[in-house]
Amino acid sequence: MDEHLPEPIRAVEHELTALLRRGRAVSWEIAREVHPNLEPNTYGLLLWLRRSGSIRLTELAARLGVGKGTLSRQINALEVLGLVHRDPDPSDRRAAQISMTDEGQRRFDVARAARLGEFLRALDGWPERDVEEFARLLGRFNDSWQ
């Protein structure tokens, strides 16, 4: 089957595989920097929480593309670690708003700064237009998976 695929598609698969492998390794490192007991797959969850400030569990699950049960278990674990908290949603008392604690934000920001430093080093010397185009194309690619 592989020999019937166009070379650019095979190249994309190869490069994405390398990127994802590296990304998993970096996520393990950053997760451990945020908290020694943090699961590596929660970095993306924390990034969404950091960007949104406060968000309902159902909305966060939809944005992350995960089930509410899975997300609820992850949120529970983050609550136990003191990184996030739930507050009653003022518009619907049955629902909760999830946000990061001050300590969670502080730990996340320190760990994220290290990750962004890695990006800066990796993209050092790239023309700004190339970085902008790279970000645009990655966004387009990610949007096509939704």
Q: How many Cα atoms sit within 13 Å of 68 on the Cβ side?
A: 7
Partner residues linked to 64 by β-bridges: none
Partner residues linked to 54 by β-bridges: 99
pTM of the complete model: 0.74
Average pLDDT over residues 99-112: 93
CA-wise closest residue to 46 among 73, 76, 77, 83: 83
Q: Which fold has domain 2-144?
A: Arc Repressor Mutant, subunit A (1.10.10)
Q: What percent of the chain has pLDDT over 90?
A: 34
Q: Do 97 and 88 form a contact (C-beta atoms < 8 A)? A: yes
Q: Is 83 left (phi over 0), alpha (psi -120 to 50) or beta?
A: alpha
Alpha helices (H) in 35-89, listed in sequence order: 43-52, 57-64, 68-80
Q: What is the pLDDT of residues 3-15, one digit of tens each?
A: 788 888 889 888 8
Give the position of tokens 């629902």.
Answer: 95
State the Rg of the chain over Cα.
Answer: 18
Q: What is the pLDDT of residues 62-89, one digit of tens each?
A: 888 888 888 889 999 999 999 999 988 8
Higher pLDDT, 25 or 69: 69
Q: How far apart are CA 34 and CA 60, in angstroms?
A: 20
Residue 125 three-state SS? coil
Q: How far apart are CA 110 and CA 107, in angstroms?
A: 5
